[in-house]
């Protein structure tokens, strides 16, 4: 458990930053007409999170955890935006 907490503490901020970049990427894909449906957006979220995490972090340093944090944080922020700004397109 201590190793897991250490990974989260060392990679959490990077994961959150990548989550923000992922969120912006999904919005841009939506505006460009690539990610049209909700399913497309969810797939784009996961794929972008994985691609960015594995290019930003050495695999041995917990890139999978960073990708998971990025994907979840991006999806959570997107849900919050949709909940508090229902008129927002996306």
CA distance 79 to 38: 12
Higher pLDDT, 88 or 32: 32
Give the global pTM.
Answer: 0.69
Which single residue is written with the structure tokens 């909700």? 38
Q: If you count DSSP H runs as helices and E runs as strands, how many of each does the chain have, helices first?
A: 3, 0
65 touches 13 (CB < 8 A): no
Q: What is the pLDDT of residue 76?
A: 84
Nearest to 49 by CA among 82, 77, 15: 15
């Amino acid at each position: 458990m201590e190793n897991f907490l250490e990974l989260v503490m060392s990679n959490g901020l990077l994961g959150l930053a990548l989550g923000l970049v992922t969120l912006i990427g999904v919005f841009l894909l939506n505006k460009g007409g690539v990610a049209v449906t909700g399913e497309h957006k969810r797939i784009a979220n996961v794929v972008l999170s994985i691609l960015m995490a594995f290019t930003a972090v050495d695999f041995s340093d917990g890139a999978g955890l960073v990708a998971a944090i990025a994907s979840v944080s991006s999806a959570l922020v997107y849900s919050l935006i949709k909940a508090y700004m229902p008129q927002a397109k996306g």
